Amino acid sequence: MNDSVQTAVVGVTGYAGAELARLLLHHPRLQNKPPIFAGRVDATDAARGGIPLAEIHPELADSKGSGGLRQLPFSWELLTDLGAEVLFLATPHEQSREWVPEALKRGMRVIDLSGAWRLVEAENRAVYAFEDDGTELAASTQAQAVYGMPELHRKQIAGAKLIANPGCYATSVILPLRPLVAAGLVDLEYGIVVDAKSGVSGAGKAPTAKTHYMYAADNLSAYGAFTHRHTGELLEQIGLSTEQIFFTPHLLPIPRGILSTIYVRFREPQTRASIAQVYHRFFAHSPMVRIYDKALPQIQYSVRSNYSDIGFQLASDGRRAVIVSCLDNLLKGASGQAVQNLNVMLGWGESEGLE
Amino acid sequence: MNDSVQTAVVGVTGYAGAELARLLLHHPRLQNKPPIFAGRVDATDAARGGIPLAEIHPELADSKGSGGLRQLPFSWELLTDLGAEVLFLATPHEQSREWVPEALKRGMRVIDLSGAWRLVEAENRAVYAFEDDGTELAASTQAQAVYGMPELHRKQIAGAKLIANPGCYATSVILPLRPLVAAGLVDLEYGIVVDAKSGVSGAGKAPTAKTHYMYAADNLSAYGAFTHRHTGELLEQIGLSTEQIFFTPHLLPIPRGILSTIYVRFREPQTRASIAQVYHRFFAHSPMVRIYDKALPQIQYSVRSNYSDIGFQLASDGRRAVIVSCLDNLLKGASGQAVQNLNVMLGWGESEGLE
Amino acid sequence: MNDSVQTAVVGVTGYAGAELARLLLHHPRLQNKPPIFAGRVDATDAARGGIPLAEIHPELADSKGSGGLRQLPFSWELLTDLGAEVLFLATPHEQSREWVPEALKRGMRVIDLSGAWRLVEAENRAVYAFEDDGTELAASTQAQAVYGMPELHRKQIAGAKLIANPGCYATSVILPLRPLVAAGLVDLEYGIVVDAKSGVSGAGKAPTAKTHYMYAADNLSAYGAFTHRHTGELLEQIGLSTEQIFFTPHLLPIPRGILSTIYVRFREPQTRASIAQVYHRFFAHSPMVRIYDKALPQIQYSVRSNYSDIGFQLASDGRRAVIVSCLDNLLKGASGQAVQNLNVMLGWGESEGLE
Amino acid sequence: MNDSVQTAVVGVTGYAGAELARLLLHHPRLQNKPPIFAGRVDATDAARGGIPLAEIHPELADSKGSGGLRQLPFSWELLTDLGAEVLFLATPHEQSREWVPEALKRGMRVIDLSGAWRLVEAENRAVYAFEDDGTELAASTQAQAVYGMPELHRKQIAGAKLIANPGCYATSVILPLRPLVAAGLVDLEYGIVVDAKSGVSGAGKAPTAKTHYMYAADNLSAYGAFTHRHTGELLEQIGLSTEQIFFTPHLLPIPRGILSTIYVRFREPQTRASIAQVYHRFFAHSPMVRIYDKALPQIQYSVRSNYSDIGFQLASDGRRAVIVSCLDNLLKGASGQAVQNLNVMLGWGESEGLE
């Protein structure tokens, strides 16, 4: 077990990057080893030694300025010279496809927040249309990847060189469904309906027609029914076939947070207690999952935390249930889970730096 | 066919009441017969001739003040003396249960916006626990009630004395589902899932913990799974049994608008064209329904209009569909539909005063 | 006085354009002469006869589709052939500088919603850096321009060929201040402070870092202190010098609406009644201004209307006042005022089509 | 210097109380001494040992439930028995007036978040209408009170028995103005204008017409011009007379955060550097104030932090400035400042537990 580690972050400028920076800067194990931030830096900024973090994210400034932290011009030499041991990539998936093999070659362990290495089945990866799919390098890299959901794959994560950090929607659906499906309770013939809603930060920082305030505010819109990229993760991690799940994401007029409403039918009638027991057992050693025994969780309860909140209501016949799952898409759905994976990788307390 | 009619409104102080006042004040047929507003008025206000409408709803003031319109102290004598012919009740259902029989006795036609007279089956009414249920008066009144959804019951509305104006959620679900179920397309064995989301005005004007800005903003919460009052309307108007439908409402952080996401399975594979045809035929003479042939509707498109917007996406196997239905809960979901019913009752153009 | 007129709109795709289209489509005088919409149309769309209005703004669709209205490819020949008499330009100011002289040459009357022709003094125009400033054509065009605020310039508007429609912030400040300054009440030595706040639609439809939902929501930011483009309009229309006014705009997390809080000191002590009288006299014949005699106006009261709302509170010494002014930036602050100008130009009722 | 201390909180159920609980639970010095929570507890809840904190504020639950923390029925005996040394009162001011003398008598040090003990001058307290004002006990208690703004009164706070924790608006105005006024730069004859805007949490947790989502959302309203309770704090702490300041608060449609826009005139022309120097000197040892040397602060930058952010823009003549001040009303404006005061009282690092 390491006492500390030298981390590096590529992609600090986005929303997930900002959260990742905040978490790493305050992580108790990293107080003497601030992360290296690297990325695109133009000549002017390079001349002044990089871009102060406080200019990129003013809310991260301490009162005496940026404390000297800067985004440096990315280069592999820089990362090697500065001794990067664990590399976080909060980059587009195309970039992660390209960079992960190089980082592994250089002996770094990688936690990749993109969708580049999450999917084992070629047909599920098709939606990404990776240019290198089918190459030997891609195949050998994929073979090393572990799906970074500690609640399901804690042991593999501990030894992994490459963590494929899960998608935000996928996390909000896999955690509540996996225990019930694995226990054989769900009648899959009826199919499962997942109606998911996410705040706007999930759509990324690039200004587009859909992230314009006037589009998102006072509105709700469904998108990507039957076609969302995260569907493949659901199939592989829960163990479902395409026609067994409806998954429709919606864009909520809030900055952050996901609520997924999940509709299932059971093979046999269940009670509140029987379902609760399945959950409590499955997550007995998972500090970042909260099971709601009475009320349903709401987005507000988990926003700005790394918790995944799960609650449910049963129909009076015990055959049907509505499950409500909430989390913060930038934390448990991205950067918080990435830090949780870091903790598990290094043998630290799973929730260190996350409370 | 009447050229005009004397309307009266009880319950102008709420959100639906404000919209109803606005619509009636601008209705082309009512320009010379402004509505009578009646309700609770204390002694001080009674002494000055009622409460100016511009004090209750400043946004309804014209530039020269309230134009003399006031909420008068309610009494049956007042309504009779002023010649009220059509009475709108935007009142709690308990009050509507009590007042509707009296209004009918006095020869007024009534459009009741509450849930008091919408349900034919006693078991569906159970959730309301009406004190007078089972009495002869209640039974004979219920027998006169017509469910006020012109797209389904245009002819009965034309001759009705009592219109039970539909619930907002119910309208958003019945309109998209009734055509498909009536055509025998939906495989009811699989059940239908309705995931509905409404803006805060649906929760009423009374300040409560749930309507507090801090509760609703930046949040999303599910409530009333398996137990919502509007479920009975769905069962009766679509023709379903309890276990054939999941209905879960959610509270959206927006002022107004409903979006219902509806999941169905078909008996036989369908095409976009086959579904579109069913809708276009069913609503061929319905000016207030818009079918989306390409994109899905969003809440913004129908808010502040009386339109019900319906769109859908099919799975590639043609066996499953996601239907998205949007409307303004205060207009098509309440006061706009009430005015639409008025138009139909009086033989006027169905969308007069609604565009 | 004309019974009707053929209007044309360039720039229907933006927020002000959508409101302008809505107003003109419902204007009682224009029911038989729908406006011509012209603008940029690519080859594919041109081949199908233009872009359906219902595709550009789905909320403007009627239930049977777009009713045939389309944005046509802009050309002067088109406008001439179709008989355009009044041309509305909801275009960037650079384009308005170029097009207005041509439109006037072709005998059209123009209502320009941009800042191109609002400013008489060269130093106030400096902030726009018009390329043609100083040319004879620009000077002669400017000489024909009337500042389109009917409450101040009703007579000149009636006869004008070119209306420079006021800025949204400027309207919210000029209307409450002009009467007090013109009456000589304000002590200008102390200066006037205007703290103005606008919804996001004021920042335009182009997706930018500042219009991103994540920037605007749950936030408030000041911008352009001492440098906002609308300042010149304040100086010219109220009659102030630069150092007599502080003007700071802020970006509010709401879709639409402006609230300006204005701080003044009086030469002599005033009473509520004395100030109210000045306002009521000044706006005696102005149907689109509402003076609040008791409470202060709020953004909600005027949003989605063409009203300018004005209220005030006096300090107990009668020497200082806080004035609150509200309007809808897309209506009284843009398209509504444009239609008001149309009405005045053509001798119609000033508020026709605006209630 | 104490290593730790036993704290107690009365009033954990409100918004400031929730933040205070969160801060104290995570404070590094208090890890072995969780705070005592006391308040109104009914018989049923008392019978089960108090109300679990996780029921009052679900977002404070850890994954294994509330960790045993509960709100206990308030009594002085309880506090004494449990060894309370520092008592935080997040209670209405009437209650703080009554309880503070008792707590002092029992030897506790008190940090009172209400307005009960902030004002020295009787005329400034008049707005509160304290029943006990003028009594000897009230006078002697007031004499012990220190205004809890460490940036101004660090030394007195260190030795104080009673801290009157400042108001949220007051903090956002005093911090940016005190340095300039104290340095003699501001021309007070012209007066200072403060246009302040606060999120809805500032209005408290009680559901009222003004905290209803429908009132606050998509709106902005001014209130309490010339009459706000916090004005007295401005006068006493900055050193102004009533007619030297305009202070108008507004209700922003956001959950939390205050932005105050402040307009001043200087006696002599200033430069950016001269003003910046005044601020940097004044706050040289204040870790919770951030001076913005380039851009202006925005609400988002300081929300959910304990920072007070200050920026400014100068007119080109150097005689006038607009100052923008931002903070989180529940943290630096309430509970964060209370913990900052705790740190100073006990000789701990001023920002411990606040980053």
pLDDT digits (tens, 9 = 90+) for D90-146: 999 999 999 999 999 999 999 999 999 999 999 999 999 999 999 999 999 999 999
Residue with tokens 């002067």: C76
Distance between CA B127 and CA B167 in Å, rounded? 14
- Cβ-nearest to C59 among B286, B287, B305: B305
Residue D64's pLDDT band (cuts 50, 70, 90): low
With contact defined as beta carbons under 8 Å apart, do D312 and D321 qualify?
A: yes
pLDDT of residue C226: 82
Alpha carbon of B348 to those of B29, B332, B354, C349: distances in Å? 9, 18, 12, 28
pLDDT of residue A111: 98
| B contact test, residue of A200, A220, A221, A329 with most B CBs within 10 A | A220
SS3 A347: coil
Number of C-beta neighbours around residue A184 at 10 A: 11
DSSP string, B89-117: E-S-HHHHHHHHHHHHHTT-EEEE-SSTT
pLDDT of residue D227: 81
Asked whether residue B227 carries a pLDDT value surpassing 70, the answer given is yes
Residue C1's pLDDT band (cuts 50, 70, 90): low
Q: What is the mean pLDDT of residues C201-226?
A: 95
Over the stretch B82-136, which tens digit does the pLDDT of each residue have? 999 999 999 999 999 999 999 999 999 999 999 999 999 999 999 999 999 999 9
Distance between CA C153 and CA D355 in Å, rounded? 57
**Chains with at least 3 CB pairs less than 8 angstroms from chain D:** A, B, C
Alpha carbon of A287 to those of A232, A338, A352, C27, C210: distances in Å? 26, 15, 10, 62, 38
Instruction: Decide if D287 and A64 are in contact by the 8 Å CB cutoff.
Output: yes
b/e sequence D36-67, b meaning 16+ C-beta within 10 Å: bbbbebeeebeeeebbbbbebbbbbbbbeebe
Over the stretch D278-321, which tens digit does the pLDDT of each residue have? 999 999 999 999 999 889 999 999 999 999 999 999 999 999 99
Q: What is the ipTM of this complex?
A: 0.95
Distance between CA C190 and CA B48 in Å, rounded? 43
Distance between CA A152 and CA A33 in Å, rounded? 30
pLDDT of residue C294: 86
The active-site residue out of C51, C72, C168, C339 is C168
Alpha carbon of B259 to those of A259, B307, C234: distances in Å? 15, 13, 44
Kindly list the catalytic residues of A.
Answer: 168
SS3 C286: coil
Four-way CATH pick for D7-166+334-345: 3.30.413.10, 3.40.50.1820, 3.30.70.260, 3.40.50.720: 3.40.50.720
> How far away is chain C from the Cα of A44, in angstroms, using its nearest Cα?
21
With contact defined as beta carbons under 8 Å apart, do A218 and A251 qualify?
A: no
* Domain range summary for chain C, segments of one domain joined by +: 7-166+334-345, 168-329
Asked whether residue D78 carries a pLDDT value surpassing 90, the answer given is yes
Contacts of residue C268, Cβ cutoff 8 Å, sequence gap at least 6: C185
> How far away is chain C from the Cα of B301, in angstroms, using its nearest Cα?
4
- Cβ-nearest to C63 among B26, B59, B287: B287
Please tell me the least confidently modeled range out of A168-177, A328-337, B48-57, B210-219. B48-57
Kindly list the catalytic residues of B.
Answer: 168
Instruction: Decide if D218 and C255 are in contact by the 8 Å CB cutoff.
Output: yes
Separate counts of helices (H) and strands (E) for chain D: 14, 15
Q: What is the mean pLDDT of residues B243-267?
A: 97
pLDDT of residue D304: 97
With contact defined as beta carbons under 8 Å apart, do C260 and C197 qualify?
A: yes
Nearest-CA residue of chain A relative to D63? A290
Nearest-CA residue of chain A relative to D301? A59
Distance between CA A103 and CA A141 in Å, rounded? 11
In chain A, which ranges are E strands? 7-10, 36-39, 51-52, 70-73, 86-89, 109-112, 145-147, 162-164, 192-198, 221-222, 245-251, 258-265, 289-291, 308-314, 320-327
Number of C-beta neighbours around residue D242 at 10 A: 15
Nearest-CA residue of chain D relative to A292? D65
- Chain A interface residues (partner D, CB cutoff 8 A): 26, 58-59, 61-64, 218, 286-290, 295, 297-298, 300-305, 307, 355
C177 against D225, higher pLDDT: C177
Active site residue C168: yes
Number of C-beta neighbours around residue B241 at 10 A: 9
Distance between CA B50 and CA B42 in Å, rounded? 9
Phi-psi map region of C146: left, alpha, beta (phi>0 left; psi -120 to 50 alpha): beta
Closest CA to D311 of D286, D321, D194, D319: D321
Identity of the residue numbered A274? S
pLDDT of residue A228: 84
Kindly list the catalytic residues of D.
Answer: 168
**Chains with at least 3 CB pairs less than 8 angstroms from chain C:** A, B, D
Distance between CA D161 and CA D140 in Å, rounded? 12
Closest CA to D342 of D36, D11, D24, D25: D24
Asked whether residue D1 carries a pLDDT value surpassing 70, the answer given is no
Instruction: Decide if D259 and C222 are in contact by the 8 Å CB cutoff.
Output: yes
Residue C67's pLDDT band (cuts 50, 70, 90): low
Q: What is the mean pLDDT of residues C297-311?
A: 97
Q: How far from chain centre, in Å, is Cα C247?
A: 18
Distance between CA A311 and CA A295 in Å, rounded? 7
Instruction: Decide if D209 and B207 are in contact by the 8 Å CB cutoff.
Output: yes
Residues of B in contact with D207 (CB under 8 A): 207-209, 211-212
Structure tokens belonging to residue D197: 């805007």
- Cβ-nearest to C219 among D218, D263, D298: D298
Please tell me the least confidently modeled range out of A144-148, B107-111, C242-246, D5-9. C242-246
pLDDT of residue D132: 94
| A contact test, residue of D59, D279, D282, D324 with most A CBs within 10 A | D59
Instruction: Decide if C193 and D195 are in contact by the 8 Å CB cutoff.
Output: yes
Q: What is the mean pLDDT of residues C203-215?
A: 96
- Chain A interface residues (partner C, CB cutoff 8 A): 15, 200-201, 205, 207-209, 211-218, 253-255
**pLDDT digits (tens), chain A, 355 positions:** 679 999 999 999 999 999 999 999 999 999 999 999 999 999 999 999 999 999 999 999 887 655 678 999 999 999 999 999 999 999 999 999 999 999 999 999 999 999 999 999 999 999 999 999 999 999 999 999 999 999 999 999 999 999 999 999 999 999 999 999 999 999 999 999 999 999 999 999 999 999 999 999 999 999 978 888 889 999 999 999 999 999 999 999 999 999 999 999 999 999 999 999 999 999 999 999 999 988 999 999 999 999 999 999 999 999 999 999 999 999 999 999 999 999 999 999 999 999 8
Nearest-CA residue of chain A relative to C254? A217
Asked whether residue D66 carries a pLDDT value surpassing 90, the answer given is no
Structure tokens belonging to residue A71: 């985004």
Asked whether residue C153 carries a pLDDT value surpassing 80, the answer given is yes
With contact defined as beta carbons under 8 Å apart, do C273 and C221 qualify?
A: no
pLDDT of residue C184: 97
Instruction: Decide if C58 and B297 are in contact by the 8 Å CB cutoff.
Output: yes
Query: What pTM, to 2 d.p., does this model score?
Result: 0.96
Residue with tokens 């009592």: B162
| C contact test, residue of A15, A55, A198, A213 with most C CBs within 10 A | A213
Distance between CA C264 and CA B346 in Å, rounded? 55
Asked whether residue B66 carries a pLDDT value surpassing 60, the answer given is no
- Cβ-nearest to B212 among D213, D253, D254: D213
CATH homologous superfamily, domain C168-329: Dihydrodipicolinate Reductase; domain 2 (3.30.360.10)
